[in-house]
Amino acid sequence: MLININAVFIIFALQAKFVKLKNKVMRKICLTAVLLTLVLLSFSSCKIKNDIETIPAKEFAEVIANPDVQLVDVRSAEEFVEGNIEGSINISLAGGDFCGQVDRTLDKGRPVAVYCRGGRQSAEAAEQLSSMGFKVFELENGYKEWIKDGE
């Protein structure tokens, strides 16, 4: 667990006040404050893996121009055939075996660019991909924004 230097100073300051307190009620209040501070600081200083960048269509176009980037459409197969970004593969989030399909299809050593129709499914997929160890670029506002921007 990582604790920043400010947290250490706060803890020492609270401990110093705690030692000086004679009243048992005040000691309990102070101890509770110290413990609560430690808990809050531990949550704020934990490094959560979040390799997700949500980017607008123009920037997304630049990212997917890189041949190393794997482009994934997470909509249903029916939505995919109605229109998609050239070069994308379809791994449906709603298919029930998203993680299994990702494991069988994608290379963890390469970044993934992900999109859906409006952004809700791709946000969920991006979280799952990130938790699996991928660097993820998510198209902000989805395929409809891509079409609107004329990409």
Residue 129, domain CATH:
3.40.250.10
Query: Could you tell me if 112 and 133 are in contact, meaning their C-beta atoms sit under 8 angstroms apart?
Result: no
Q: Please indicate, yes or no, whether residues 39 and 63 belong to a single structural domain of this protein.
A: no
One-letter amino acid of 135: K
pLDDT at 81: 96
**pLDDT one-digit tens code per residue, 52-95:** 999 999 999 999 999 999 999 999 999 999 999 999 999 999 98
Q: Please indicate, yes or no, whether residues 57 and 128 belong to a single structural domain of this protein.
A: yes
Q: Please indicate, yes or no, whether residues 72 and 135 belong to a single structural domain of this protein.
A: yes
Around Cβ 93, how many Cβ atoms within 10 Å? 20
Q: Please indicate, yes or no, whether residues 61 and 30 belong to a single structural domain of this protein.
A: no
Q: Please indicate, yes or no, whether residues 36 and 57 belong to a single structural domain of this protein.
A: no
pLDDT at 96: 84
Q: Please indicate, yes or no, whether residues 88 and 120 belong to a single structural domain of this protein.
A: yes
Q: Please indicate, yes or no, whether residues 27 and 81 belong to a single structural domain of this protein.
A: no
Q: Please indicate, yes or no, whether residues 73 and 15 belong to a single structural domain of this protein.
A: no
Q: Please indicate, yes or no, whether residues 29 and 91 belong to a single structural domain of this protein.
A: no
Chosen domain end from 45, 61, 76: 45
- Provide the residue range defining the domain that includes 113: 52-148
DSSP character string of 72-109: EE-S-HHHHHH---TT-EE--GGGS-HHHHHHHH--TT
pLDDT at 105 over 90: yes
Q: Please indicate, yes or no, whether residues 38 and 57 belong to a single structural domain of this protein.
A: no
**pLDDT one-digit tens code per residue, 2-39:** 455 556 556 655 565 555 655 666 666 656 765 665 55
**pLDDT one-digit tens code per residue, 39-53:** 554 443 333 347 899
Domain count, the chain: 2
